[in-house]
Amino acid sequence: MVAKLMAEFLGTFWLVLGGCGSAVLAAAFPGVGIGLLGVSLAFGLTVLTGAYALGPISGGHFNPAVSVGLWAGGRFPGDQVFPYMISQVAGAVLGAGVLYLIASGKADFHLADGMASNGYGEHSPGGYSLRSALVTEFVLTFMFLIVILGTTHSRAPVGFAGMAIGLALCLVHLISIPVTNTSVNPARSTGPAVFVGGWALQQLWLFWVAPIIGAAIAGFTHRLLFEGDRVEPPIVGR
């Protein structure tokens, strides 16, 4: 269990450092900024690489919503959900902390810029409302879990789950960065919010509630409609 929790800690650390780091450090870099497309790809790559490196140890969740969704889908034991969540949030906070140490070395860096925090209303990149943010985070987390549950099914082709899941997360970001800066992951949202404080912490509730509910409903839905025979526990990178 210690190895599993450490794998979740490192995987979530990598996701926040790689994904949020690309948004803070590289998205708008003069002349060669990677923009929305590059940030979306970076988040997908963190999950893809983390899944193949750490998935065989812990399952490669790196996301409290994924752990809840897999539990709801009958793929993950309930008594491990909370320990996984703690490790994931701790890894996300450390990832955001390392990113802060790097980014704050630039003279014009300001935490008020958000450090890739998620938000709605005036803190949405595109000015989208609370309703838009709730719908976006709920629906995209639901579909993200449907992809995860389908590609880790015992009848799915072996060895491609990590690739499909990474590409799905990339697509999720392409859709929703303008709306919420994309969460679908409560730990990813918590890491930067801890350092930004203020509005980021005040709006953090949405980025726990919507992804967790979306993931749980996806798990129950997949279990009810698509599961046949009992499947083996999922390993995202298998």
Distance CA 29, CA 221 (A): 42
Q: What Rg, from alpha-carbon coordinates, does the chain have?
A: 17
Q: What average pLDDT score do residues 175-182 get?
A: 96
Query: Kind and range of the H or E element at 58?
Result: helix 35-58
Is 238 within a domain? no
Q: What average pLDDT score do residues 101-129 get?
A: 93
> What is the reported pLDDT for 119?
97
Distance CA 92, CA 53 (A): 18
Is 55 within a domain? yes
Give the tokens for residue 78: 């309930």
Is 89 within a domain? yes
Distance CA 62, CA 11 (A): 6
Distance CA 164, CA 147 (A): 8
Is 233 within a domain? no
Q: What average pLDDT score do residues 124-143 get?
A: 97
Distance CA 60, CA 164 (A): 13
> What is the reported pLDDT for 152?
87
Is 62 within a domain? yes
Give the tokens for residue 44: 């997908």
Is 72 within a domain? yes
Q: What average pLDDT score do residues 46-72 get?
A: 95
Report angle CA 58, 59, 63 to the nearest 5 degrees: 95
* Contact partners, residue 71, CB within 8 Å, separation at least 6: 77, 78, 81, 219
Is 183 within a domain? yes
Q: Greatest CA span in the chain, whole angstroms? A: 58
> What is the reported pLDDT for 52?
94
* Contact partners, residue 20, CB within 8 Å, separation at least 6: 95, 96, 99, 115, 116, 188, 191, 192
219 and 70 Cβ atoms separated by less than 8 Å: yes
142 and 214 Cβ atoms separated by less than 8 Å: yes
Does residue 228 surpass a pLDDT of 50?
yes
> What is the reported pLDDT for 190?
97
User: Helices in 104-205 by DSSP H: which ranges?
Assistant: 130-151, 161-180, 186-196, 199-202
Which CATH number characterizes residue 126's domain?
1.20.1080.10
DSSP 8-state code for residue 30: T
> What is the reported pLDDT for 236?
53
Position with higher pLDDT, 158 vs 223 = 223
Q: What range defines the domain where residue 210 resides?
A: 2-225
DSSP 8-state code for residue 22: I
Q: What average pLDDT score do residues 122-147 get?
A: 97
Count the domains in the chain.
1
Question: What is the distance of C-alpha 11 from the center of its chain?
Answer: 11
Is 100 within a domain? yes
DSSP 8-state code for residue 23: I
119 and 202 Cβ atoms separated by less than 8 Å: no
Does residue 229 surpass a pLDDT of 60?
no
